[in-house]
């Protein structure tokens, strides 16, 4: 049996009521009788995770090494740590939240420790119950390069095997959020794969492709808190031999609209008690005269309350754009760099700034300056 999942975002909600939500999936996967786990990126919510978060990931991956699996290793395009194929192998690509250009990222660190195998424009082949399983993986690259990198790599299915391709990109029409760059369409995906697994998108979906299928496992924890996340449950896929989706333990998430105190209170009064406090997001018009502080104090036992105002004023729209599009501070910084500068590699520059790599910033700026001179 193969478990297929993505976007754990370990560390999301740290130091809040939701700080353990991201770890629910780890417990559930440890209970499965998996022979192999495939992961399509964004293991961590931050490219430099806290030690408390890193230790949870290491504990989970180490536990997999103690379990039995019928999987047999055949070959890999690169040299691998033999410890990584003991027990239940965890085959991963890194996502945009993990990626650190020119620096080792946390997923690569775990690979060095023999806890997982990370693929980037590489493949690994196993045998399970007499059938060859070929896993091909391309870790996240800046969106404007995604199509070119995929075409240059040009992954070819292994004859006689079940071929699975792991990606972590925007693939039109599946885009993480409005305004995101997108450079790849479904029609650009390579042919001949039984499954193409794409992370990055936080809701589950399945699309038939010629003789194969594109699947989006979605994230295993609510992070965007938009309406779509309130409508689609979290979980992961199981291939055994048919493909099925299995829901995991998660908080209920409600997304409602209201214009008056009475509407808000009527909805909250009907909210049943849950084992886990649900996430309750209420969108209200900015013309509504609601005392949100009073409502929050009165109904705080009902769940985790999040209020969002509809904005009609142009200035206020710009001011709250980061919230409206559910962007993190890092993602918003990247958006500003793209809009306000003509820098060739804004994502790489932002990552170096975040990592406080002054030498890397200097080298990248010099490289960009030289390329502009040569172009002119």
Give the tens place of pLDDT for each residue, 81-103: 999 999 999 999 999 999 998 89
Q: How confident is the model at residue 324 (pLDDT cuts 50, 70, 90)?
A: very low
The verdict on 312 and 364 lying in the same domain is no
The verdict on 204 and 320 lying in the same domain is no
The verdict on 238 and 309 lying in the same domain is no
Strand duo 122-128 + 161-167: pairing: unpaired
Q: Among 247, 265, 286, give the residue marking a domain's end.
A: 247
What pLDDT is recorded for position 34? 96
Give the residue ranges of DSSP H helices in the chain.
Answer: 24-31, 51-65, 106-112, 143-153, 227-231, 261-269, 292-298, 314-319, 321-324, 329-340, 346-354, 358-375
CATH of the domain at 235: 3.60.21.10
Q: How confident is the model at residue 288 (pLDDT cuts 50, 70, 90)?
A: low
Q: How confident is the model at residue 273 (pLDDT cuts 50, 70, 90)?
A: confident
Is pLDDT of 318 > 60? Answer: no
The verdict on 86 and 233 lying in the same domain is yes
What pLDDT is recorded for position 374? 66
Q: In terms of pTM, does the model score above 0.85?
A: no
Instruction: Please check whether residue 123 is in contact with residue 69, taking contact to mean a CB–CB distance below 8 angstroms.
Output: no
What is the total count of domains within the chain?
Answer: 3
Reported as a single tens digit per residue, the pLDDT across 184-207 is 999 999 999 999 999 999 999 999
**Three-class SS state of 128:** strand
Closest CA to 80 of 50, 117, 113: 117
What pLDDT is recorded for position 274? 86
Instruction: Please check whether residue 310 is in contact with residue 323, taking contact to mean a CB–CB distance below 8 angstroms.
Output: no
The verdict on 198 and 160 lying in the same domain is yes
Is pLDDT of 152 > 70? Answer: yes
What pLDDT is recorded for position 205? 95
Instruction: Please check whether residue 171 is in contact with residue 189, taking contact to mean a CB–CB distance below 8 angstroms.
Output: yes
| CA atoms of 15 and 33, how far apart (whole Å) | 32
* Residue range(s) defining the domain that contains residue 333: 329-375
Closest CA to 138 of 169, 162, 166, 112: 166
Instruction: Please check whether residue 149 is in contact with residue 113, taking contact to mean a CB–CB distance below 8 angstroms.
Output: no
Region 343-370: mean pLDDT is 71
Instruction: Please check whether residue 213 is in contact with residue 207, taking contact to mean a CB–CB distance below 8 angstroms.
Output: yes
The verdict on 33 and 77 lying in the same domain is yes
The verdict on 127 and 193 lying in the same domain is yes
Q: Among 324, 339, 364, give the residue marking a domain's end.
A: 324
The verdict on 308 and 178 lying in the same domain is no
The verdict on 195 and 111 lying in the same domain is yes
Is pLDDT of 311 > 60? Answer: no
The verdict on 239 and 337 lying in the same domain is no
The verdict on 346 and 362 lying in the same domain is yes
The verdict on 151 and 298 lying in the same domain is no
Of the listed ranges 126-140, 157-171, 356-370, the least confidently predicted one is 356-370
What pLDDT is recorded for position 323? 45
Q: Among 324, 349, 367, give the residue marking a domain's end.
A: 324
Q: How confident is the model at residue 363 (pLDDT cuts 50, 70, 90)?
A: confident
Closest CA to 331 of 311, 355, 351, 307: 351
């Amino acid at each position: 049996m193969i478990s297929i999942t993505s976007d754990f975002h370990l560390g999301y909600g740290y130091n809040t009521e939701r700080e353990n939500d991201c770890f629910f999936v780890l417990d559930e996967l440890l209970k499965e009788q998996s022979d192999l786990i495939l992961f399509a990126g964004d293991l961590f919510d931050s490219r430099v995770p806290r030690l408390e978060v890193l230790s949870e990931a290491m504990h989970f991956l180490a536990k997999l090494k103690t379990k039995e699996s019928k999987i047999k290793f055949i070959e890999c395009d690169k040299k691998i740590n033999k410890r990584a194929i003991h027990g239940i192998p965890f085959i991963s690509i890194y996502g945009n939240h993990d990626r650190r250009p020119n620096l080792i990222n946390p997923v690569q660190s775990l690979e060095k420790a023999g806890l997982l195998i990370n693929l980037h424009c590489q493949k690994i082949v196993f045998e399970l119950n007499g059938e060859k399983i070929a896993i091909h993986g391309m870790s996240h690259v800046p969106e404007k390069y995604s199509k070119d990198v995929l075409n240059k790599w040009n992954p070819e299915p292994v004859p006689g095997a079940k071929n699975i391709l792991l990606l972590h990109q925007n693939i039109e029409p599946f885009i993480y959020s409005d305004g995101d760059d997108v450079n790849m369409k479904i029609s650009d995906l390579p042919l001949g794969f039984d499954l193409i697994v794409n992370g990055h998108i936080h809701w589950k979906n399945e699309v038939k492709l010629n003789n194969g299928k594109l699947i989006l496992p979605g994230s295993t924890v609510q992070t965007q808190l938009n309406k779509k996340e309130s409508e689609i449950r979290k979980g992961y896929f199981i291939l055994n031999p048919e493909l099925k989706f299995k829901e995991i333990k998660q908080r209920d998430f409600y997304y409602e609209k209201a214009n008056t105190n009475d509407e808000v209170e009527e909805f909250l009064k009907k909210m049943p008690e849950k084992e886990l406090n649900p996430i309750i997001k209420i969108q209200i018009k900015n013309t509504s005269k609601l005392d949100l502080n009073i409502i929050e104090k009165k109904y705080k036992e009902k769940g985790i309350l999040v209020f969002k105002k509809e904005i009609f004023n142009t200035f206020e729209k710009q001011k709250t754009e980061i919230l409206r599009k559910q962007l993190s501070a890092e993602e918003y910084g990247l958006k500003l760099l793209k809009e306000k500068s003509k820098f060739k590699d804004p994502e790489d520059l932002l990552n170096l700034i975040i990592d406080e790599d002054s030498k890397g910033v200097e080298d990248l700026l010099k490289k960009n300056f030289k390329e502009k001179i040569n172009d002119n």
